[in-house]
Amino acid sequence: MPVSPAAATAGAGRFAPSPTGDLHVGNLRTAILAWLFARATGRRFLLRVEDLDPERSTTGTGQLRDLTAVGLSWDAVPVRQSERTGLYLAAVDRLAEAGMVYECFCTRSEIADAPRAPHAPPGAYPGTCRDLGDTARAQRRRQRPAALRLRSGVEAYTVTDLLHGEFTGPVDDLVLLRNDGVPPYNLAVVVDDAAQGIDQVVRGGDLLTSAPRQAYLASLLGLPPVQYAHVPLVLNPAGRRLAKRDGAITLGALESTGAGPDQVRDLILASLGLPPGPLEEALPEFSLERLPAEPWVFAAPPGEPLSLR
């Protein structure tokens, strides 16, 4: 399936990093792919700072600087999730009015230790608090504040992905509001995508399993579906996802080894089978058919040049 201007739309694509540290090469590659997908289909490209976790989040200024340095541009001022809480609470209220929300008092350890049905995936909520009576709920409220969970009506949901085709994944009673009042990722991302007119979501392949839960939640809220493309990850030579222990993997660290932003951009483009230079010049050569299906192995040992496998 080609990705071409013929598929022009009034929608938008996006890149939505969490400002919990510097972006690494894998993040930058996904951002460039999101930009290419959006531009190749006539969409706007937006940036969203997913800073809902106040304890771990920074301003994200360094991330925006690095994205600009490798040639990304966006079509509106980046929005911050920390400034959009009212939207998320309104969505929870809509679901609550429909009788689809219940209080949950479980701790993480209680959820981990609870018995589950044989077919339930690891980590799925076992429904401990789903049918608590009034007396039990009142007693649990005295022990700890409640989170709010979705009373899901399905056990699985199917999405269609441009790279993976139809994918069916489990849906449990996901959290809609943490017990500290902070909206979780799965709710915020669904509400924000709809509010921003985003109808194309390009992100790392590790998030494919989240798509069914998010698409199901969007359907309950009456929000339009999005087009998914979960792209291959970047791995270290040991076959694991990039991490700080892998050395020079951020733009700043790579610059200290002599690799500037243009060189990093060109290396990423080469990994996608695209020509070097400004992203606008690579755009005519970009197509879904040419997108590598396998992860990219990135190696940047100290004192050695960047390498591509």
Name the binding residues for ATP.
244
Following DSSP, what letter does each residue of 70-100 receive, concatenated? TT---SSPPEEGGG-HHHHHHHHHHHHHTT-
Binding residues for Zn(2+): 104, 106, 125, 129
Burial code (b: 16+ CB inside 10 Å, e: under 16) for 137-164 equals eeebeeeeebbbbbbbeeeebebebbbe
CA distance 102 to 146: 9
Phi and psi at residue 14, to the nearest 5°: -160, 160
Residue ranges of the annotated binding site for L-glutamate are 14-18, 50, 185, 203
Annotated binding residues, written as ranges, equal: 14-18, 50, 104, 106, 125, 129, 185, 203, 244
Place of tokens 């139809």: 166
The Cα–Cα gap between 274 and 304 comes to 24
Pairwise CA distance, residues 83 & 220, whole Å? 24
Q: Determine contact, residues 200/226, Cβ cutoff 8 Å.
A: yes
Three-class secondary structure of residue 203 per DSSP:
strand
Q: Rounded to 5 degrees, what angle do the CA atoms 263, 57, 180 make?
A: 150
Measured CA to CA, the distance from residue 27 to residue 251 in angstroms comes to 11
Sequence length of the chain is: 309
CA-to-CA distance for 19 and 56, rounded, in angstroms? 8
Q: How far apart (Å, rounded) are the C-alpha atoms in residues 237 and 239?
A: 5
